[in-house]
Structure 1
Amino acid sequence: MTAWLLVCNPMKFRLKAMLDDGGELTNWSVGRYLRDMHKGDHFALWLTGQGAGVVATGELTGEPYWTDDDEDDDGYWAEPPGPRNVVPLRVEQWLQAPVPRSWFKTHGDFAAATVLTQPFATNPHRLSDEQWGALAAEVEQALTHPTEGWQPEGDGIWDLRPGDQIRRVELHDRYGGSRQGGISPSRTSNNVIFFTDPGTGEQHGYQDVWESDDHFRYTGEGQVGDQVFSRGNKAIRDHLQEGRRLRLFIGSRGVVRYSGEWILDQSRPYSWGQAPSTGGGDERQVIHFHMIRIGAAVTAPDVPVGAEYRVEDETTIPAPALPSAPDPALMAQTLSKHRQLQNALAQQVRDRGYHPLSPTATDPAFDLAWHQEDTLTVTEVKSLRLENESHQLRTGVGQLLDYVDQLSARSPQVRGVLWVERAPTEDRWIGICERAGIVLAWPGTEARVWP
């Protein structure tokens, strides 16, 4: 019997509010393994955020199906989920306290579990027979020996942009976290908020260094004695595994300025240094976190590229952000075609025995990638209309040259594929791409990609 792990982000779905109102969970959104999920399969529900873990188990009551409306919303979604695939289910038990993330991290059967290694992957995560057996036993233990109850994180959606200023009191009212200290893990959202302030930090030995606009060395917390990995330091060190986002602010009191989202450099997440204690005391050991701004190029060879492919929704198209945006119907048609092309290409990759990948926070924004022996193939997908064909092809070539350059240090060989919906009207584009070292292909010319 197959078993699945479904993930619920309480910032997006107010699960606790639904249960408090006497509601019943009858289905859940899924985006992959649609043909593998069947009636009678076991499932566990994983709640993200502070105190994350499994809070319920049950079984599927049918096959995944497509729904075009928000009939299951009832006001508990932070934003209407829109058209999507859902799988019907029945919860058989809610746990008074979750099986926590820490249990999964220390249990040998879950060392490579995707909910830990790919926390942002699309629902669901597949569980092996051994994993489900171990989890079922732990759930039984939690039911017979309950501890303190669980509280999901709050409903605040991050809406600050880099450069925005906000009073620190208001910041924490909105997103949680302590109003004092340099590192402030939130219990009401999935954010770790941290602050750098040369005016106050250096007197405590906090010598933060901007190595470039995209690389920042941040000193951990702890004013006296050697710093250790607890509280805020631990939250920063483990943020990727725990699915938490690092939010940096300039300043520490009054009005602070948002500097954007960061991640730890996975090739060298931290190092140790020496600094005086508060007030100029004895030298002590401090932690230096090595951070990279989200979107910056990562060149360390041991940082893996991509995560399991996230199937693109081919029907839910966002509305234009500005009244002056192009024709909404045309935008929807173009974006839908792009997503269809991308999903179809991902399926071809699977059919040939390879694993399609979507970019992570440490990757450039490619559409699709896969490993084939010692070669990493990275693709850009483009829909084509007569009026925009040259622009799309020029843009695609430029993007791929950038992607290949950024990823060249992370794979023995990297090649770029420009995948378009049809043959270009001008054959010269084939020669242009060949001279640039890029494969130009479209449906029906798969032999260009897989000779």
Structure 2
Amino acid sequence: MDSITPAQLSLELHVTSKRVRDVLRDEFGLLPPGKGRWLLSPSEADLVRARVGLDASSQVWSLRPGDEVRRRAVHRVYGGQQQGGISTPKSIDDVLIFTDPDSGKEFGYDKHEGLREDGNYSYTGEGQVGDQSISKRGNAALVRAAADGNAIRLFRTHGIYATYVGAFTLGTPAYWNKDIPDRNGAMRRGFVFNLEPIDADTEILPPYGGESLRQPIVKDWIAPDFDDVVVEPGPSSVDLQARTVSRIEFELQSDFGNWLAANGDEPKSLTLPVDGSNIMPDLYVPSRGWIVEAKRSVARDHVRAAIGQVLDYTHAAGEIGISATPLILIPGAPSDSLGSLLRSLGIALAHRSDDGEDFTIVSSA
């Protein structure tokens, strides 16, 4: 007989898993050293049941990120459709969604789902054959849940078991159209939802488009082709803007990378594993020890965004033994106050020179 976990009891008794663990600590003390979680015998589980009791009227969400339970048990408590990836229980306002990366590979979903560098999760919409519809029950439920402020609760499944990842909402944009394969391998128009974590353990999730790295990868840098920009398409209202932004940034990156190479500092491509995803700065310059983040504008919002990203990249690199100096790349010189901010944070700066042919480097010191 399988051991019983606190998560299973919390579902059964309609209480939080913290309440169950409090009873366990009161009855049995702390977990022994080296034991990662409670695994209860039937008699131990009965003791907890007797102490806690069943609150049949309660609809409290009882699971916490990382809890593993049988998927059937989730539906037994909250209801909702047991087939398909999107479930809409009537007992709670939240929407439950399930992803199985292993089985999804069979249909090519692994190429369009996963934890992205920005920390959001890409999730393909409902509908296995033919073009998907945003008005289809499950897809429409995701949009309504986010609009109403209700949680979208994501599970990663494997066989009969489901691991609760956490609560999400829809980011901006909420979704985009994408050509994806259907169950029969035929290409069709689908939706990829942009799930933004609220309270979740995203390390449970696979990275976007593949397996998580164990070591950093350094490759030869290839200049982006800004004359034929290809970006992840979003809703039509923002698509043109996204393409324009990408073109300006790609052109800046391309010119800077070629300028570096011409001056004997060969740029590289660097991919770093962090928190279950793979992150990639715009450029890595080993000869100078630079990790580079480019932005299309000298505006304060763009510079502040670059600061956060480049510090994240250099910190992640340092955690795995790559010592680097953060450098932001923008088209022109920033304001005096922003320049002072960069120096105070130890961030170097690169921008186009006055003639537009070369680049000016401002030290981080």
The alignment's TM-score, normalised by the length of structure 1, stands at 0.33
